[in-house]
Amino acid sequence: MKIVVAPDSFKGSLSAKEASDAIELGIRRVLKDAEIVKVPMADGGEGTVQSLVDATNGTLIKLNALDPLCREVEAFYGILGDGKTAVIEMAAASGLPLLKEGEKNPMLTTTYGTGQLIKHALEMGCRSIIMGIGGSATNDGGAGMASALGVRFLDEEGKEIGPGGGALGRLRSIDARALDKRISECSLIAACDVSNPLAGSEGASFVYGPQKGANKAMVDILDKNLRSYGEMLEKYFSKSIIHISGAGAAGGLGAGLLAFLNAKLMRGIDIVIETTGLEEKLRDADLVITGEGMIDHQTMYGKTPYGVAKLAAKYKIPVVAIAGGIGEGDEVLYDNGFSSIFSIMEKPMSLETAIENSKVLLQRTTERIIRLYCIKSKY
């Protein structure tokens, strides 16, 4: 029997690799000779670097970079097992969790640190880059990122405007002549699961600005600045930017990646499936087990278990999902590739207790699933 184990992380508890290992132990308690193929997964958000590094036997790189307020912080990215592909989470250097509540201000925050991670990956010889662009603290359209790679953003006096979405209001010209030449040798794919344009009522500033600390007045300014910035990008690079789906992702970083790095925007789960070779690995499987911390109706919107189940359905392979918790609306998943869904919770317990015992709970739940599957297989 061949079983493919392809979970996401259980946030705050287990990495995708740790979850895969726990599931394997549960399977082995019943099927000692089963062929088990473990594929740690992610959806392009938090944990993507670690999952892809684990799945490809890659390397985690730690380095100092500037945080959203230009303070030095320890950040990271991964180099996959091929030694040529870097995987970067922009949130590692430019993410909202790096700021305290009173520090959130998208007028000031910058993606400069994200650019530093890209530059370091280039120096390590990487010419293929995968970037997760969720969880940003920024609204600068990727100008900070581009600045770290050599682009100059100038005011009417020819002076650099400085960092942040607010500073874009002084932008009068863009000088990309010193953009790192190695960029032209690169391919960059950005994990983007939102369709927001750069500016407008559905754009980066109006939709995501408030959660990054912007009040109504700030949102109006930021949106105006991003629109003007987008118009300059379109003129400079002779390509559509402002209304491209996903250009508004991560405070407009999507637009910056499209313009300066000629990036391709893709759904995060699709990138991970392609990078891990999941389709080839599950093609002849008898059973697929996936999971993550919470499964509910939102799982259908780009989450890892849904991506795994959709792929397995292509080959008519049963899929069982295991979750820390099961939320409302999960029943819609049964019509979308899921054979069954289980929670690891065995009795009433606090979240802290569940997290502390998650590895054992996951093993036990998996064992029960496999015992049930074996009963089914006898008939």
**H or E segment to which residue 238 belongs:** none
Candidates 279, 273, 200, 272; CA nearest to 241 is 200
pTM: 0.90
Q: Mapping DSSP to helix (H, G, I), strand (E, B) and coil, where does residue 94 land?
A: helix
The amino acid present at 111, given as its one-letter code, is T
The amino acid present at 2, given as its one-letter code, is K
Asked if 80 and 72 touch (Cβ cutoff 8 Å), the reply is no
What is residue 379's predicted lDDT score, i.e. its pLDDT? 42
Instruction: Delineate the domains of the chain, giving CATH numbers in brackets.
Output: 2-39+279-377 (3.40.50.10350), 48-268 (3.90.1510.10)
Rounded to an integer, the average pLDDT of 82-97 is 96
* Number of alpha carbons in the 13 Å side-chain half-sphere of residue 130: 29
Q: pLDDT for 285-319, tens place per residue?
A: 999 999 999 999 989 888 999 999 999 999 999 99
pLDDT more than 70, % of the chain: 99
Exposed, middle or buried, 361 (CB in 10 Å: 0-12/13-18/19+)? buried
Rounded to an integer, the average pLDDT of 343-350 is 89
What is residue 352's predicted lDDT score, i.e. its pLDDT? 87
Asked if 114 and 94 touch (Cβ cutoff 8 Å), the reply is yes
Contacts of 149 (CB under 8 A, 6+ apart): 115, 118, 119, 179, 180, 183, 260
11, two tokens? 């946030």
**H or E segment to which residue 270 belongs:** helix 268-276
Distance CA 93, CA 97 (A): 10
Candidates 320, 312, 304; CA nearest to 369 is 320
pLDDT more than 90, % of the chain: 91
Rounded to an integer, the average pLDDT of 108-125 is 98
Model confidence at 275, pLDDT cuts 50, 70, 90, reads very high
Asked if 99 and 137 touch (Cβ cutoff 8 Å), the reply is yes
The amino acid present at 244, given as its one-letter code, is I
Question: What number of other Cβ atoms are within 10 A of residue 350's Cβ?
Answer: 8
87, two tokens? 């995987």
What is residue 375's predicted lDDT score, i.e. its pLDDT? 87
> Taking CA 347 as the corner, what is the angle to CA 342 and CA 352, rounded to the nearest 5 degrees?
95
**How far does the chain reach from its first CA to its final CA, in angstroms?**
16
How far is C-alpha 278 from the chain's CA centre? 17
pLDDT beyond 80 at 377: no
Q: pLDDT for 183-198, tens place per residue?
A: 999 999 999 988 999 9
Q: How many residues belong to the chain? A: 379
pLDDT beyond 90 at 35: yes
Distance CA 37, CA 33 (A): 12
Q: What are 131's strand-pairing partners? A: 88, 190
What is residue 302's predicted lDDT score, i.e. its pLDDT? 83
What does DSSP say about strands 319-326 and 340-343: parallel, antiparallel, or unpaired?
A: parallel
The amino acid present at 265, given as its one-letter code, is L
Rounded to an integer, the average pLDDT of 242-255 is 96
DSSP 312-329: HHHTT--EEEEEEEE-TT
Max alpha carbon distance in the chain (Å)? 80
